[in-house]
Structure 1
Amino acid sequence: MNHKDPLSILPVRQVKGVSPRKESELHAFGVRTVADLLEYYPFRYEDYRIRELTEAQDGEKMTIRGTIRSAGALQRYGRSKSRLSCKVETNRVLITAVWFNRHFLQDQLVPGREIVLTGKWDKQRLQLTVAESEFPDRGPSKSGTLQPVYSVGGSVTQAWMRKTIRQALEQFGAMIAEVLPRELIERHRLMPRREAIFRIHHPEDTSDGREARRRLVYEELFWFQLKLQAFRSLNRKRTDGVAHQVSADTIRSFAESLPFELTEGQKKAINEILVDMRRPYAMNRLLQGDVGAGKTVVAAIALYATVKSGHQGALMVPTEILAEQHARSLAKLYAGTGIEVALLTGSLTERRRRETLAGIQMGLTDIVVGTHALIQEDVFFRSLGLVVTDEQHRFGVNQRSILRRKGMNPDVLTMTATPIPRTLAITAFGDLDISTIRERPHGRKPIKTYWVKHSMMDRVLGFIRREAAAGRQTYVICPLIEESDKLDVQNAIDLQAQLQQAFPDLRVGLLHGRMTAAEKEEVMRAFETNEVQVLVATTVVEVGVDVPNATLMVIMDAERFGLSQLHQLRGRVGRGAHQSYCVLVADPKSDVGRERMGAMTETDDGFEIARRDLELRGPGDFFGTKQSGLPEFRLADMAADFAILEQARDDAAELAGREDFWHSPEYAALRERLQQDPVFKGSSSTRQQCLPGGI
């Protein structure tokens, strides 16, 4: 039996009134099928419901019904501008109705005729500036209704879109099929799908539209969560993961040998990870924490556990600088344990790469640290037990599943220093368990943050001078590498020259993404050893770079950065025992820019920063760019629909965890829909065995 929705196959040209030209324009909006058109939801409504003048606020847009009491009086200004007015009585109140540049209506303004007016109300003058007017004696009108407002453009007008969607509902509305199980519809008292789609386009009142939207938002979030939870459930059905055998005493002994004390948050995260690692199915866990919360140490202990149980570990990071730094710090942590750490990046010489690959394949290397070079086809492990990905929030479900193919279903630990609001974590990482570290390591002081304007740059230079005199170092961050005609921002190359001139007795370094790996390494090593006192850089230092002696972070044109990115940059200082500072140099023109600066100076709590960033930028841009791991929803808003999102996740997890979901005819439509998704298409024979009848 085929459960595929027929409306998702019917081309949109099947709707009466859709010409080839209009069809082409609808394609530009992502509307290709009848289903796409019916699911092209309005983003707001125009309220044409008749109201009393006594209900209206001054300056408010409103719709009234009345009787014309005077003929239209026309005044012309030049060739094309005009002012048309007449007196209208509504509920025994005489008001003035005014139209601008609508001279052609003059003959229709006949005393005694009924009229419906929509416009801006001026309470003091008893005047309505009319945007739209209708005469009830001409037939059906919009008055008394909520009219949908769609995203339109080109020759696709609002009126045409309304008419076409109405036509599609008349032609094909009866074919709209229910997709949710009856138990969920009844549990949450949801509108039937057919009724919800009708009502969202043509609500009788605001509560009607609200209920239709609630139903469709739930459906959208439930479907996305079902994919994630089914994926997670299937992985848990597989018992071919690595069950690590390592004693608590072995881990405790290693942790006690470290030159610092673990925080309670780190201990809790380690315990959660070790519990997962001892199980026979593959771990899929996200470790999140604020900047400098000590996630790398947690990962190091997890990697130590995998080696001690006879397997290899891999740590994948986004940049070569970070890979080199992690390789050095891990080698230092494992000194005396006999654990071999190797580095694998794209800039290795061919000979060195061959040697490294051979060591990994033969098992001579215990832990490999690298960039995306780790997941290239020619990388083979003898026995990969754990993959740790750092700052890879850009990975969606598909990409994370690729990593497992490097071993026999190894455990996966994903780390991020971008604290993610629970709403976004549930959505982007719904297939992962989540461990969170909230507190700072012992001895870390809060970073003092200031916002200054460009006119105060002399004071900023004085600040840099004072920190250098105390033996400390400074980062200066710029948005661009070179000059841009499009953006009036300070660039790193020019700024480095200017600062070197301002501080002839200091060494000012430069670091940006276009430098070779060797050049970056040379600059970073000079900064780490304090041969360079001031480092001018682009956001290449955003993640992971760790120089405890750096105590001042200056961010130029700070309004150009997102809130979470600013917080990431600020986290490059405050990593030692000395008081650290962050100075934001910005002259924001927008409210959003000013709000960002305010948020940065008010709090250094990464989770609070993340919450505000989600509100300011929206989920699609939360990580600085649209990411593959984040869905774009038609209706759902992850901040506003948080409660529905959590409910949808719980329902999807409960359903995917039940045996009857995978076998009962009642859920055949959902299983078939899952089968169509790329995440489930032919990725492994084991998965197919878990999906009876293909799914």
Structure 2
Amino acid sequence: MTWRWTRSRTSRAERAAGRNVASKPSNEAPRPIAELHGVGPAIAAKFKALGLVDEIDLLFHRPLRYEDRTRITPIGRLRPSTTTLVQGRVTHQEVRFGRRKSLLVVLADDSGQVVLRFFNFYPSQQRQFAVGNAMRCFGEVRFGPEGYEMAHPQCQVIREGFDPPLPDHLTPVYPTTAGLGQAKLAERILETVDRALNGSLALPDPLGNVQGLGTLADALAAIHRPAATANLDALIDGYDPAVQRLALEELLAHHLALARLNRARAKQHADSLIDNTGLVDRLLAEFPFTPTGAQTRVIGEIAADLSGTRPMRRLLQGDVGSGKTLVAAAAVAQAIGAGAQAAIIAPTEILAEQHRENFSRWFDPLGIEAVWLAGKVKGKARQEALEKLAAGAPLAIGTHALFQEGVEFDRLRLVVVDEQHRFGVGQRLALAAKGAEDTGRGQSRIPHQLVMTATPIPRTLAMTAYAGLEVSVIDELPPGRKPVTTALIRDDRRGELVERIRAQLAAGHQAYWVCPLIEESDLLEAEAAETTWEALKAQLPDFDVGLVHGRMKARDKQAVMARFKAGEIHLLVATTVIEVGVDVPNAGLMIIENAERLGLSQLHQLRGRVGRGSEQAACVLMFKPPLGELAKARLEVMRETTDGFRIAERDLELRGPGEVLGTRQTGMLRFRIADLARDADRVEQVPELARSLKRADVDVLIQRWIGDSEQFADV
């Protein structure tokens, strides 16, 4: 922590806070941060790294915590573990030489004295602490070798005859980034807040004192300049009326943007895909089992969408092992039966290969060959694939390579995206654009879209992040599937697990051993997959132990996975690369080490790799004690239930929507104030509130909270 000092003049932010807010307003539009006083290109880039581009962003940048600098505490009343403002005179200073060079300054008032300790200082700074100088210092009090002391406090020299005024509100401390000091960030934010409060900055307030939560100005003042008596826990945790007021407005803006997108879809057209060839029935007849009731219901919902001319945008949710792929195959068959092309895209080559294998097994007997396109497809093979797609080959399966430049389709009318939250917004738009056409009648023709996820989406999240999509849920597992039993075991019982695996393999079954890292790391206390692989090979010499991880070449990974699926590899040591897309019914045991490092959704996905046959399967979560509260809560949830939707709800509560969905990849789901777990009740209130707004109010709210990212709201 660096030491800094300031002279006795007050900062711009403090002067802004104290000046007359009744000055004549200019009602200016919000300015880009790069145009603000004292912000050059380099500093503007630091602001942008925080997601702060203009003055509106500054207003909604919430403090992490607050400091009380509204009163000076007599030095004689200091207590350890408190953060306090003191004022006194320097009575002594010296430089100590020992294990670390340090500057010690004694500051005293009429009630006592405190030691100020600095480990990083310059001679020019040292001179500011000349004996006799008056100082005002803010820092955390602790008990040290010299008595009460403050390490690296923030200090201000007080000129003779001038006693700078104290702020009349708590001092906010904001999230920042390397290269952007707290002082500069706070100064820009508080200046902008002052402009908003005195009318210099145009900030319409369509909602006013909505639901008794106060006005927009009230909320900004309470968040950035709370009174010394404010309930800080409520402010920080987001339950204060000021935070709730902003959260409600943000949720409303999100709802309005999605409603606008839905209206815009009236100008979009999709081809009606009616299977006149009976291909869907022929496909379903190929399966040696009857689809579950849930699968049959969802197939019907999707079939109705594809038969219409309104572009389908449907989210297919289903827990691991529920049979989403079969449902997707029926949709693909309907599109192909209507003479159209369909494309299936997956985020990893392992998952894409799994789809290629399944769809080839199902569609080859029907005379339909899948065109395969992934990053590893090069040269002549790639050129042949491109030519087939351009000529109208009915089925394409691959990775992100499908929407790269140079890939052209003849009549792409259905896009199926698996594990869609793993794709960036721009990628999903690019694939949909491959089948887009201008009809010339003021309408655009776009493909139907089916997006699938094995990560159950909590209802609150679905109402916001996916409010523009119809949702189908496969809420029934195939008959004969037994819930996976889950146990928690400390890592010092590793030997017992090896013996359990030995018994499992000797009985003719297979197993997984999952490690979160690929190689040894000094920073993370986790066993590396390579190290574990070597150890298990030595401990289980009678069995074939394989290894797969993300740094292997794609062909090597595929070769290992093929051998495991064929039963040639008995125990597979892997990183989380096997999280999705691996279907080996004979694998009945999974060990996940360092399970406390993984999120609930990831643990649930991994556990879903076992229990895919009729035998009872087990998952062992191995952890390194002691466990933190969050890690303990996650592991307990995994032990208590295999219900993916219950797990998803708890995941939302524990981690928040940005983590559950992948904030960077959800486009518009960058909530600055709202928290979908905390503000679920507000989500329910939004639709009625939206109906009361005028068109101009809608424009204001969407631009304020969403801006240019509106186009990404539901991709």
Shorter-normalised TM range: 0.7 to 0.9
AA paired with 1:216?
Answer: L
Counterpart in the other structure of 1:54: none
Amino acid at match of 1:383: R
The answer for the alignment partner of 2:641 in structure 1 is 603
2:412 is aligned to 384
Q: Which moved more, 1:226-235 or 1:184-193?
A: 184-193
Q: Alpha carbons of 1:166 and 1:354: their partners in 2 closer, same or farther (altered >3 Å)?
A: closer
- Counterpart of 1:175 in structure 2 is 200
CA contact (8 A) 2:346 2:419 kept: yes
The answer to whether residue 31 in structure 2 is matched with residue 8 in structure 1 is yes
Structure 1 residues 479, 177: closer, same or farther in 2, change over 3 A?
same
The one-letter code of the counterpart of 2:199 is A
On the 8 A contact 2:419/2:454 being kept in 1, the answer is: yes
Does structure 2 retain, via aligned residues, the 8 Å contact 1:480–1:491? yes
Q: Give the corresponding residue for 2:657.
A: 619
| Preserved CA contact (<8 Å) 2:342 2:394 | yes
Q: Distance in 2 between matches of 1:573 and 1:22?
A: 51
**Counterpart amino acid of residue 216 in structure 2:** R
Residues 229-255 of structure 1, C-alpha deviations (whole Å, 9 max, x = no match): 3233312x1342122224899756754
Change (3 A) 1:147 1:83: closer
Distance in structure 1 (CA, Å) of the matches to 2:508 and 2:178 = 62
Which residues of 2 match residues 393-404 of structure 1 at below 5 A?
Answer: 393-395=421-423, 397-404=425-432
Q: Please name the residue that 1:690 is paired with.
A: none
Structure 1 residues 297 and 86: alpha-carbon distance in aligned structure 2, compared to 1, 3 A threshold: farther
Cα gap change, 1:99/1:262 in structure 2, threshold over 3 Å: closer, same or farther?
farther
* 1:317 match: 346
Q: TM-score, normalised by structure 1?
A: 0.77
Equivalent residue, structure 1, for 2:451:
414
Matched, 1:243 2:266: no
Residue 389 (structure 2) pairs with residue 360 (structure 1): yes
Aligned mate of 1:340, from 351, 363, 369: 369
Deviation at 1:629, TM superposition (A): 3.4
Shift of residue 195 of structure 1?
Answer: 4.0
Alpha-carbon distance in structure 1 between the residues aligned to 2:398 and 2:365:
22
Say if 1:13 and 1:20, in contact at 8 Å, map to a contact too: no
The correspondence for 1:40, drawn from 56, 61, 65, is 61
Extract unaligned runs of 5+ from structure 1.
Answer: 51-57, 65-71, 88-96, 109-116, 121-128, 682-695
* 1:538-566 CA-partner distances (Å, limit 9, x unpaired): 22211011010011111222233222112
Distance 1:186 1:30, change over 3 A: closer
Distance change >3 Å, CA 361–CA 674, structure 1 → 2 = farther
CA distance in 1, matches of 2:383, 2:45: 52
Tell me whether 1:475 sits opposite 2:512 in the alignment: yes
Deviation at 1:462, TM superposition (A): 1.0
Deviation at 1:46, TM superposition (A): 4.8
Q: Structure 2 length as normaliser, TM-score? A: 0.75
Q: 1:190 to 1:299 in 2, by over 3 A?
A: same
Contact 1:314 1:386 in 2 (8 A): yes
- Counterpart of 1:497 in structure 2 is 534
CA distance in 2, matches of 1:671, 1:141: 38
1:151 and 2:172 aligned:
no
Report how far residue 574 of structure 1 moved.
Answer: 0.5
Change (3 A) 1:545 1:211: same
Name the aligned partner's letter for residue 642 of structure 1. Answer: A
- Whether the 8 Å contact between 2:208 and 2:216 is mirrored in structure 1 is no
Amino acid at match of 1:175: S
| Mapped pair 1:327 → 2:364 | no
For residue 27 of structure 1, report the CA deviation from its aligned partner. Answer: 6.6
Whether 2:570 is the aligned partner of 1:541: answer no
Taking the aligned partners of 1:677 and 1:438, their CA distance within structure 2 comes to 37
Give the direction of change, closer, same or farther, for the CA distance of 1:419–1:140 in structure 2 (3 Å limit).
Answer: same
After superposition, give the CA deviation of every residue in 1:466-524 in whole Å (9 maximum; x if it has no partner). Answer: 11121100111122233334334322223222222222221111222233333222222
Find out whether 1:276 has 2:301 as its counterpart. no
Alpha-carbon deviations, 1:261-307, whole Å to 9, x = none? 33333233223222222221211111122111211111111111112
In 1, distance between residues paired with 2:500 and 2:513? 12
User: Secondary structure of 1:435's partner?
Assistant: strand
Query: 3-state SS of the aligned residue for 2:621?
Result: strand
> Hey, what does 2:681 align to over in structure 1?
643
1:305 aligns with 2:334: yes
Q: What is the alpha-carbon distance in structure 2 between the residues aligned to residue 668 and residue 250 of structure 1?
A: 47
Identity %: 40
1:677 matched to 2:708 = yes
Q: Secondary structure at the match of 1:380?
A: coil
Query: Once the two structures are superposed, what CA deviation does each residue of 1:419-446 show, in whole Å capped at 9, x if it has no partner?
Result: 2223333443333222222332211111
How many residues are aligned here? 637
Superposed CA deviations along residues 153-192 of structure 1, whole A, max 9, x for unmatched, are 8897767766665544445530333456x4x557645644
- With over 3 angstroms needed to count, the CA separation of the structure-2 counterparts of 1:225 and 1:488, relative to structure 1, is same
